[in-house]
Amino acid sequence: MFRKSSLLVAAISFVLLFGSVAFAKKAYVNGIDANYPPFAYIDANGKPAGFDVDSLDWIANKMGFTVEHKAMEWSTIVQSVVSKKIDMVYSGMSITEERAKQVNFSDPYWKVAQVIIAKKGSGLSVEKAFKGGMKLGVQSGTSEADMLQNQIGKDGNNYELKYYDSAPLAIMDILNGRVPTAAMDIAPAEDAIKHGKDIEIVGEFGEPEFFGIAVRKEDKELLETINKGLKMLMADPYWEELKAKHLKDGAH
């Protein structure tokens, strides 16, 4: 009994000693959509990876904080920031007015076109996808889902939205022939094409969006830190490396 308790005391003091060292740096939790390659996904070793994950790791290293990437369900991710389950979202998040009511965004770091995809050789177009009375796949909780929902019935738009949990699932359903077209950011579409999936981008729609990092309204200091780090990153050669590593030809 005595031996057990002394072990426990030793263990606790060990944790206190080394825990305090670890807590010298500020530790933040970043929520990611791990179903959003190439910006954020889980790699073959079961570790978070991707363009955004690498970016934030670099910024954290430069700005002297530690960060843990936590895979979250995308449709509730803003809620998770607000209710302090995570501290930020650095994961291909489009800056939108709607979201900006609940969180603050960093400076934009990426411009992303929104595209319509279809099976290769389908002969479909953006026009047909919007006005042909067909089903249109989209990921729930995304900016494009909101926008498309509001556009139904305006200027001859008559599509029926079918919601998916992730862009890859919408892509799978196009391949299965369940939906003729789907709307998404260009990045996951290009990623699928890179993986040899039989889809094509039939055209862009809407205004291009900008990705930014979301933090809680009251976390002014964190936002400043991130903006500073982001500026440094985009001026660093590593930024080009990241593009080459994760994105098709690094094309912007």
Partner 1 sequence: MQQQLSVILEALPYILEGAGVSLAIVVFAMALGLLMGIPMAVGLVYGHPILRRLIGLYVWFFRGVPILVLMFLFYFGIFDALGLDLNAISAVSIVLGLTSAAYQSQIFRGAIQSLPQGQLKAARALGMSDMQGIISIILPQALRLSIPGWSNEYSIILKDSALAYVVGAMDIFTRTHFVASRTYEHLALFINAGVLYFIITLVGVKLLLALEKKVRIPGYTM
Which positions touch partner 1 (CB under 8 A)? 34-37, 41-46, 70-73, 76, 79, 83-85, 165-169, 171-172, 192, 195, 197
Least separation in angstroms between CB 171 and partner 1:
7
**Torsion (CA) 176, 181, 186, 190 in degrees, nearest 10:** 30
CA–CA separation, 205 and 203 (whole Å)? 7
**String of b and e for 198-220 (b: at least 16 CB within 10 Å)?**
ebbbbbebeeebbbbbbbbeebe
Residue 169, judged by CB atoms within 10 A of its CB (0-12, 13-18, 19+), counts as middle
CA–CA separation, 209 and 112 (whole Å)? 5
Closer residue to partner 1, CB minimum distance, 42 or 234:
42
Closer residue to partner 1, CB minimum distance, 171 or 215:
171
Closer residue to partner 1, CB minimum distance, 111 or 195:
195
Least separation in angstroms between CB 188 and partner 1:
9
Closer residue to partner 1, CB minimum distance, 79 or 102:
79
CA–CA separation, 250 and 168 (whole Å)? 21
Instruction: Tell me the β-bridge partners of 164.
Output: 139
Least separation in angstroms between CB 70 and partner 1:
7
Closer residue to partner 1, CB minimum distance, 61 or 76:
76
Six token digits for residue 113? 């076109």
Least separation in angstroms between CB 170 and partner 1:
11
Least separation in angstroms between CB 87 and partner 1:
13
Closer residue to partner 1, CB minimum distance, 112 or 230:
112
Is the preceding omega at residue 38 within 30 degrees of 0, hence cis?
yes
Least separation in angstroms between CB 118 and partner 1:
17
